[in-house]
Structure 1
């Protein structure tokens, strides 16, 4: 049985796309006769505080579903302060180095990136141990940070670019969640071996029993309430004449959104808080459509919600541009509106005919989700090259 170690910054019981992606990868490899172990920080996302069950621990090891999970100390923080974020990443990097020094590391190691500095630490210390390093790139940093306004093109940015290039160069294989990511990697290291590994979900699709709702079009957003998603801005800009807007999730903008709702009690916006992923799969089906927004178009980013909602048969309104927009249009999963153009977004919403939001439409989306976004067939292709 081949051993593989996965190094990540997010893992259950933490929630979110990053955590789900790595969990499914670990479970999938285990089901294909790999002996899987995971290195991850003590759970702290998205609150920025170590979860109660793990407080006061320097290291916690457990076996869950035949996967060995080593949770290491981290200086937890979700602060917007760049120095505190750097300290958090460095603290986890130091914990990783300590672990590498005192534990036997499998020959094959999958490293999640970003964070760049964590991946950089792994590349330096594990390449010297002659390990087969697979870099799993979910977002392009520092480019994404620049597009989001988190970085400026200064000396620090150039350092991050050098770290990024080093990581790509030292990896034996780069996995990318989008074609744009792979194109970028090839532009940096032309001879690098790459593999398109999308964030396909693995769950049993529910039985569809949809009946169009009466009255207003019910739109739902579920997920991270972060700056990149721009849900607060969405609350401000939507035309509510013929719609209801329902929100699930948590994150940096949560308090702003709650305050906005309190100040505008006349608007049909409801914040439902956070629910588990399994609960969400049931809850979402009561709405007419879901919206997948990005505040700005981010090169390389393809929201994993696209693949998850397709397997729920849920019609989507995509408002983020880039490769995600192409996927929605190619597979006829719903509607798209030009990223950042709220006037256009409201026109697209107004054009949606509720008469066409039928069970048949959902069945077609569900069928395409099962056929085009199949987790198992993708994993089998990955297994063949690692």
Structure 2
């Protein structure tokens, strides 16, 4: 079977969509299938093309047996709604045009969060007369409303009409959460065409390891209880709550034993860094985005991982993929996301829950983990056991079966 996969994020980018797509496609190639990915030049989230790549109309490489076609896009940083929309639209056009030159395709997959990529996948499937799959990673554009990135209500209403049209036209929708499936069914989408394949973790890469000695010394973390957030610093993540916690800890007699690491980039990174400098929060360490291999080194520094999203009903439907990476690496969690992901944390017994945007609750959680080594050890031991339930190779096989059924290749 030949699978054509359209995505605007792919390694060496290290965000969740890039990792999921690569790890699934890699497993499909191992299973004997041909996979072609159409993407852009790697540039997320800074809007700067990675070393070794160019933003050209067409370039091609083979990555782990996957044929990767990179097309020209309008490149911008992950901030500013208008410019990002131009980025999405440019990929929709050039990705669709590139798909016309990919021959003998059995099925097309398009992945969100934003659905312009999915528009290109739908159009490509029409030309090729093959089924297409909508991989649903986010309820978009509703998430734009929630974070206030766009105020024009009429435009958002129009985008939602396009969204519902795409749901109806998809041969099958593969949702990353059960909550997304429920949400779509409430909006009139046929539940029989929605499958759930959650995010997961490559347990061969994300496994327990000792703290990285070199980084420990570099950031002067010896003897400190290190908590951290690793990921996009966006409007949805409300990371000022972490700075509020750092400020509260700094004001206490024993607060110097805590350090908070913020690794990544995004629309709010500059303002967060400026606030920390202005308020003298030297217990917060900012690290820019690093490669996938380096990310694992930074994960190893953490005694606790902070997972956080803005307090809003929409985000109760989200399962942050970093949850599974923390489990794989035996890192206890302070989980500030309500809903389905919180249920996983509780069920697998891998961390403490706290109310999103509640500084006092976050500080209490940090202190509880730091002061209770037995609790910390229990969460660490349970992490890798729970990660086995979300092994990426098994999930890739599950999605592959869905694709084979739709393509008539089962």
CA distance in 2, matches of 1:331, 1:135: 29
Which residue of the partner structure matches residue 292 of structure 1?
307
Greater shift in the superposed pair: 75-84 or 299-308:
75-84
Which residue of the partner structure matches residue 239 of structure 2?
231
Work out whether residues 355 and 361 of structure 2, in 8 Å CA contact, stay in contact via their aligned partners in 1: yes
Q: What is the DSSP-based 3-state SS (H/G/I as helix, E as strand, rest coil) of the residue aligned with 1:76? A: coil
Q: CA deviation at 1:192?
A: 4.4
Which residue of the partner structure matches residue 201 of structure 1?
201
Q: What is the DSSP-based 3-state SS (H/G/I as helix, E as strand, rest coil) of the residue aligned with 1:270? A: strand
Which residue of the partner structure matches residue 219 of structure 1?
227
Q: CA 1:359–1:209 in 2, change beyond 3 Å: closer, same or farther?
A: farther
TM-score by length of 2: 0.86
Work out whether residues 4 and 109 of structure 1, in 8 Å CA contact, stay in contact via their aligned partners in 2: yes
Q: What is the DSSP-based 3-state SS (H/G/I as helix, E as strand, rest coil) of the residue aligned with 1:225? A: coil
Q: CA 1:32–1:274 in 2, change beyond 3 Å: closer, same or farther?
A: same
TM-score by length of 1: 0.91
Deviations 1:184-221 (A, max 9, x none): 222331254122111212142545558xx986532122
Q: CA deviation at 1:246?
A: 1.8
Count of aligned positions: 382
Higher helix share: 2
Deviations 1:283-307 (A, max 9, x none): 3233321101112332432100111
Q: What is the DSSP-based 3-state SS (H/G/I as helix, E as strand, rest coil) of the residue aligned with 2:236? A: coil
CA distance in 1, matches of 2:229, 2:390: 21
Q: CA 1:82–1:277 in 2, change beyond 3 Å: closer, same or farther?
A: closer
Q: CA deviation at 1:252?
A: 2.3
Work out whether residues 45 and 78 of structure 2, in 8 Å CA contact, stay in contact via their aligned partners in 1: no
Work out whether residues 174 and 195 of structure 1, in 8 Å CA contact, stay in contact via their aligned partners in 2: yes
Deviations 1:12-43 (A, max 9, x none): 11221111111111111111111111000122
Work out whether residues 232 and 253 of structure 1, in 8 Å CA contact, stay in contact via their aligned partners in 2: no
Pick aligned residue for 2:340 from 323, 330, 353: 323
Deviations 1:146-167 (A, max 9, x none): 2222244721111111111111
Q: Summarize the alignment of residues 204-283 of structure 1 with structure 2, pairs less than 5 Å apart.
A: 204=204, 205-208=206-209, 217-238=225-246, 239-240=248-249, 241=252, 242=255, 243-265=258-280, 267-283=282-298
Work out whether residues 171 and 193 of structure 2, in 8 Å CA contact, stay in contact via their aligned partners in 1: yes
Greater shift in the superposed pair: 309-318 or 99-108:
99-108
Greater shift in the superposed pair: 57-66 or 153-162:
153-162
Unaligned runs of 5+ in 1: none
CA distance in 2, matches of 1:118, 1:367: 35
Which residue of the partner structure matches residue 319 of structure 2?
302
Which residue of the partner structure matches residue 175 of structure 1?
174
CA distance in 2, matches of 1:355, 1:86: 47
Which residue of the partner structure matches residue 53 of structure 1?
52
Work out whether residues 4 and 109 of structure 2, in 8 Å CA contact, stay in contact via their aligned partners in 1: yes
Q: What is the DSSP-based 3-state SS (H/G/I as helix, E as strand, rest coil) of the residue aligned with 1:250? A: coil
Work out whether residues 148 and 296 of structure 1, in 8 Å CA contact, stay in contact via their aligned partners in 2: no
Work out whether residues 24 and 201 of structure 1, in 8 Å CA contact, stay in contact via their aligned partners in 2: no
The one of the two structures with greater contact order (alpha-carbon pairs below 8 A, sep at least 6) is 2
Q: CA RMSD in A?
A: 2.3
Unaligned runs of 5+ in 2: 212-220, 404-410
- 2:384 counterpart of 1:369: no
Q: CA deviation at 1:237?
A: 4.2
